[in-house]
A = this chain, B = another copy of it.
């Protein structure tokens, strides 16, 4: 069972959930037409299906062996990567002045989903390159931009992010890597970085490392960290003093080399202001976080496709509705529940990620300052939800995919288990999901005194009003269930804002993870309802595409079966903080 990019569903979500139509009509995307969007999605889908998807298993099996400092990528990766960059896929969202196509982040979000569904280990590298492009574009000197951006935009070279050190993971303040001025405007970088994705590989002639390090006179903590560009191959063609010293043996994404990088007086150049490296890195991270969220969606989609195909094929037992012979297991209500859960969670997290991408586009492209500002804060609010909710869903859906397969799911040859192994990292890297929840609660909720989150909740309420007005019997209890979910979110939000405002941050921190889940359920439910409303309108207008009633049924399933957890989550947020007093006690015993 291989992957088929769900191009029609993606296009529908881009338009009717994330509002790409509206943005195009407003002229935010220049001469981009809806037809061109469809053409690009179809071509990307073909490439993902035919060229990238076959790499998934081979990457898992082959891994990325390291020998004498050289990392050998899995068979087929080099050819596929070259075809992929030559097809212009890396350049799709890149700045036009450096050879990019300047297409919307939103359109690229759908493409990112495809590459990562097809082979997450393959799709991961370009996410880092995109972060490098973003950081260099925004913070790099003219010289650095001139020297590196074009090749990073095209994908001729790849980029990496070097943050983590053994003692400095989620907490970068204790980072030790040093940068000494060389006197000629360059620096000598020394230190060891771990968990460097695509830190070394044989796909391209050069690799551009973006490395956080401390200048000699830097203040302690996170305010003394600077960002440096450290290429594998120096401009004069010589090898820089850096090497891959080890490769991690990981649970999943075996086709993506996770490297220990050693910088031994390597030549680098400052990116941005001294001691402002963390801000530059966050430029990379924010985009990368959406990309990782899309990986969650991507794995969920692929796991769902595989489970669905198996459930249609595998015959066991006789369903209550059947009269003779064994039924396909998809006929059994419990299997149907698993598949619907997989599909609904996937679609909900896709909606959230696409919505976030749309906000990022608008933050750059809206014609008025107020519009850009509003979109920027909305993107800030949604990014941790897109990252954490979607990657949690990636794990849950991949695990359900194994379950649908029964015993075969546990056998590696089936391929279902790889999805769970691959999915597991996405909840950890680019800031663990706990860090995302803390970011959401302590930094994003207080934006504009809570007005940003209230505005988002208000937008969700409007969706419920529309369902009440426009939705027919096929919507079942979608409206009341979704309303309850949103009001639960509202209550929990009020509680957290009050805790933060009353200088009780621990209470907010204690409820952060269930709150993020609750936010995802409400926002995801609203996304599915938007999709259902558009499907309903299309059906009423005479469109007989069976995908339309499917969208209505899926929104209903989500509201009646999954969003039902919202009230309990709100109760956990508002009433579960008792463990702050006695939790340490409970763990001590």
Pick from A77-85, A92-100, A128-136, A580-588 the stretch touching chain B.
A580-588
A173 CA to B326 CA, complexed, in Å: 10
Tell me if A282 is interfacial: C-beta within 8 Å of chain B. Answer: no
Tell me if A28 is interfacial: C-beta within 8 Å of chain B. Answer: no
Beta-carbon contacts under 8 Å, A542-575 to B: 546-554, 556-557, 560-562, 564-569, 571-572, 575
Interface residues on A, range: 35 or more
Contact for A333 among B332, B510, B551, CB less than 8 A: B510
Known contacts A417-B251, A585-B549, A588-B550: A410-B437 contact under CB 8 Å: no
Tell me if A421 is interfacial: C-beta within 8 Å of chain B. Answer: yes
Q: Which residues of B contact A453 (CB under 8 A)?
A: none
Contact with B along A232-256 (1 / 0, CB 8 A): 0000000000000000111110000
A554 CA to B252 CA, complexed, in Å: 34
Complex contact B583–A557 (CB within 8 A): yes
Tell me if A512 is interfacial: C-beta within 8 Å of chain B. Answer: yes
Distance in angstroms from A169 CB to nearest chain B CB is: 5
Distance in angstroms from A395 CB to nearest chain B CB is: 7
Distance in angstroms from A420 CB to nearest chain B CB is: 7
Copies in the complex: 2
Tell me if A432 is interfacial: C-beta within 8 Å of chain B. Answer: yes
Contact for A195 among B252, B407, B476, B579, CB less than 8 A: B407
Contact for A589 among B169, B421, B546, CB less than 8 A: B546
Tell me if A465 is interfacial: C-beta within 8 Å of chain B. Answer: no
Tell me if A91 is interfacial: C-beta within 8 Å of chain B. Answer: no
A209 CA to B409 CA, complexed, in Å: 25
Beta-carbon contacts under 8 Å, A204-220 to B: none
Q: Specify the chain B residue showing the minimal Cβ separation from A556.
A: B578
Complex contact A561–B554 (CB within 8 A): no
Tell me if A450 is interfacial: C-beta within 8 Å of chain B. Answer: no
A556 CA to B552 CA, complexed, in Å: 40
A565 CA to B521 CA, complexed, in Å: 14
Pick from A184-192, A334-342, A352-360 the stretch touching chain B.
A334-342
Contact for A579 among B336, B548, B582, CB less than 8 A: B336
Q: Specify the chain B residue showing the minimal Cβ separation from A433.
A: B403
Complex contact B509–A333 (CB within 8 A): yes
Complex contact B587–A340 (CB within 8 A): yes
Pick from A38-46, A103-111, A117-125, A313-321 the stretch touching chain B.
A313-321
Pick from A13-21, A223-231, A264-272, A422-430 the stretch touching chain B.
A422-430
Complex contact A320–B560 (CB within 8 A): no
A579 CA to B562 CA, complexed, in Å: 12
Tell me if A278 is interfacial: C-beta within 8 Å of chain B. Answer: no
Tell me if A262 is interfacial: C-beta within 8 Å of chain B. Answer: no
Tell me if A171 is interfacial: C-beta within 8 Å of chain B. Answer: yes
Contact for A553 among B195, B514, B557, B586, CB less than 8 A: B586
Tell me if A275 is interfacial: C-beta within 8 Å of chain B. Answer: no
Q: Which residues of B contact A35 (CB under 8 A)?
A: none
Known contacts A434-B338, A579-B340: A564-B553 contact under CB 8 Å: no
Known contacts A343-B586, A549-B585, A588-B546: A580-B333 contact under CB 8 Å: yes
Interface residue ranges, A against B (CB under 8 Å): 164, 169-171, 173-174, 194-195, 248-252, 308, 316-317, 320-321, 326, 330, 332-340, 343, 395, 399, 402-403, 406-407, 409-413, 417, 420-421, 424-425, 427-429, 432-434, 437-438, 474, 476-477, 481, 505-506, 509-510, 512-514, 546-554, 556-557, 560-562, 564-569, 571-572, 575-576, 578-580, 582-589
Extra pairs beyond A330-B587, A549-B585 (20, CB < 8 Å): A171-B316, A174-B326, A194-B407, A249-B411, A250-B417, A251-B417, A251-B421, A334-B513, A336-B584, A338-B513, A339-B587, A399-B424, A403-B428, A420-B424, A474-B582, A547-B589, A553-B585, A557-B578, A560-B572, A564-B576
